[in-house]
Structure 1
Amino acid sequence: MGPIAEAVSAAGGSLTRVFGRAEIPLTLLDTPDRLILLRDQLRLVNAAIREIGDPSLPARLSTGIGIAGLGPIGVQVRTAETLGSALARVEIVTPLLLQTATWTGLRRKGANAFYGYTVLERIESGRQANEILALGYLLGTVRHFLGPTWRPDHAVVTGATMSGRGEIQEQFGSEIAFGSRAGLIFPAFHLDTPNPNRDDPDRLATAEDEPIGDDLAACVAHLIELDLDEARPSIDGVARRLGLSRRTLQRRLDDLGTRYSDIRDRIMAQRAKTLLTGETLSIARIACELGYADTSHFTRAFLEWTGTTPSRWRRDVCVGRQTKVS
């Protein structure tokens, strides 16, 4: 989100308008590592394109950032022995690490390799912009092995037309064709290229069997955190963002041995403790920030969560700090 915000600001656009159109709280910029849904990402990119009138924005963002923007997936790439093994790793870990309905992987077609990307989730708009964004990251992955000036034979996106095609082709350094699946096409012999700057595999930061947020409860928790930036979260709002009915969401959480209210209370308690630790906001203001009509309702809820009152919890934290200092 940071690079998107920088691009919008540099072009003289309004971040408030962009995030408003995407239905994402602007305060999310204060916590850029927080998980957001794929459809939210698409809306944000589309809103930014609309705001500054630049359809090549996704290509510029992803090619400029490279594999540094891939986080733990980039770690997998940097520790692979060859380009082929790196792309095989990406195919395995992407759905685990991102927890989005996407596929990224390698397919051989005769003497050529097709490094592809597909959005599996049904989305109404923004698919092509998301594909262009993804192609820049795919390009950065291959260039880690073949050098910063390497160009694919051509790139592919879905659809029949594309705004800003010339600028995007210039950004990627290759022609762009239309097909059923987005990706890069290049000679398959490149897959045997060794990693020129391989990181120590023993320092691998994220193992393939350690997914990030790989269950529905984790996604619900992240969405509740997002809603807290604007108003008190509701199960109907979370279900809508997940594309589920309220009843279906409740049933699936019940299958996991938890409830929406349990997850909400845990997140609310964490946010309340964070605000109370800051010492700058009054308890009345914190109650308002968390969506409570008055302090007494917040106090009763906090007592139920923690077994103590907000004021007592804040005093205990202050005493603990003073003890450490002395």
Structure 2
Amino acid sequence: MGPIAEAVSAAGGSLVRVFGRAEIPLTLLDTPDRLILLRDQLRLIDAAIREIGAPSLPARLSMGIGIAGLGPVGVQVRAAETLGEALARVEVATPLLLQTATLTSVRLQGANAFYGYAVTERIESGRQANEILALGYLLGTVRHFLGPAWRPSHAVVTGAYLPGRSEIEALLGAEIAFGSRAGLVFPACHLDAPNPNRHDPLGPDTAADEPIGDDLAACVAQLIELGLDEARPSIDGIARRLGISRRTLQRRLDDAGTRYADIQHRVMARRAKALLTAEVLSIGRIAVELGYSDASHFTRAFLEWTGMTPSHWRRVVRSRGSTVVS
């Protein structure tokens, strides 16, 4: 939601009007890490496009963010040895992270490969805009292996008409055709392309060893760590412990270059890794310990933090005979 809000504000649009049209409370901007339904996301993108009159907005957003915007899916991409392996990993991770609302897959079509994206819910409003947003991320995935100048044979979106088509084609660097499913078409031989900068998700996590920020941010991290012994602490509870308002805490953390959600995720990821490595508790019990209602919600969160499911993490750590990984 953050990049969408920034684009609307930069263009002089009204966030109140955009969120109102999408029937989403504006207060969600205070908790950008909260999951919302896909249909709500699509309505928000559609409302933003209408507000600022920019049908190319989805392409600009995804191309501007690149592979960094893929979050845990990006971890899967960077950890794969080849492009084909990366796309297979993304196919498994996508429905887990997006709650089965979307899926990706690769199909061979003669000498070509079709890297497709589909929304599995019966949603029409904003569907094509979501596909354009997805195409930017699909391009970012392939370009991680083939370089930033790589261009597909062509891209595909659903429907029969695409507003702002020429500008979107220029942003994506690809001609767009219409079909039954969105995606990219490129030579199948590219699937064997090696990863030029492979990342080991179980390797040293330098970010976790770096200072979180100023003393306030470090204090927040410590309070979250202590709070995990009782229940998952909320930003309101931490603000009360510090004797300041929620808004003040958010503003001061923002001044320090971080967010409450980032600190909380880092602390919870460290605790989860320690519990998984110890192999004393089941994954379901660890989920409860961290304040999740069930193992599936914990699995999605852990996948977002590390790019791996808890069971996969535990198996790999066991096979390496590792101690706790930071």
TM range (shorter): 0.5 to 0.7
Amino acid at match of 1:12: G
- TM-score scaled to structure 1, two decimals? 0.64
**2:8 is equivalent to residue 15 of structure 1:** no
Counterpart position of 2:39: 39
Match of 2:193 in 1: 193
Instruction: For 1:195, give the aligned amino acid.
Output: N
Cα deviation code 1:238-276 (max 9, x no counterpart): xxxxxxxxxxxxxxxxxxxxxxxxxxxxx9x95774564
State how 1:44-55 maps to structure 2 within 5 Å.
44-55=44-55
Runs of 4+ in 1 over 2 A off after TM superposition: 201-205, 269-281
Preserved contact between residue 145 and residue 195 of structure 2 (Cα < 8 Å)? yes
| Residue of structure 2 equivalent to 1:215 | none
- Secondary structure at the residue paired with 1:150? coil
Between the two proteins, the alignment pairs up a number of residues equal to: 222
Name the residue aligned to 2:171: 171
Is the counterpart of residue 277 in structure 1 residue 241 in structure 2?
yes
**Distance across 1 between alignment mates of 2:42 and 2:82:** 32
Which residue identity does 1:147 align to in structure 2?
Answer: G
Q: Which residue of 1 aligns with 2:150?
A: 150
Whole-angstrom CA distance in 1 between matches of 2:40 and 2:241: 31
Counterpart CA distance in 2 for 1:274 and 1:39 is 32
Task: Give RMSD over aligned pairs.
Answer: 2.3
Partner of 1:303: none
| Gaps in structure 2 of 5+ consecutive residues | 206-230, 246-326
Instruction: Tell whether the 8 Å contact from 2:8 to 2:51 is kept in structure 1 after alignment.
Output: yes
Amino acid at match of 1:52: I
CA shift for structure 1 position 124: 3.2
Q: 1: CA distance between counterparts of 2:135 and 2:116?
A: 8
Give the TM-score taking structure 2 as reference length.
0.64
Match of residue 243 from structure 1: none
Q: Secondary structure at the match of 1:203?
A: coil
**1:184 match:** 184
1:126-166 CA-to-partner distances (Å, cap 9, x unmatched) read: 11011010011000000001111111000000001110011
Superposed displacement of residue 174, structure 1: 1.1
Structure with higher Rg: it is 1
Identity rate, percent: 77
Q: Partner amino acid for 2:3? A: P
Residues 69-218 of structure 1 mapped to structure 2, 5 A cutoff: 69-203=69-203
Aligned counterparts of 1:177 and 1:53: Cα–Cα separation in 2: 23
Mapped partners of 2:63, 2:235: distance in 1: 36
Q: What runs of 5+ residues in structure 1 fail to find an aligned partner? A: 206-266, 282-326
Instruction: For 2:204 and 2:36, locate their aligned partners in 1 and report how far apart those are by CA, in whole Å.
Output: 25
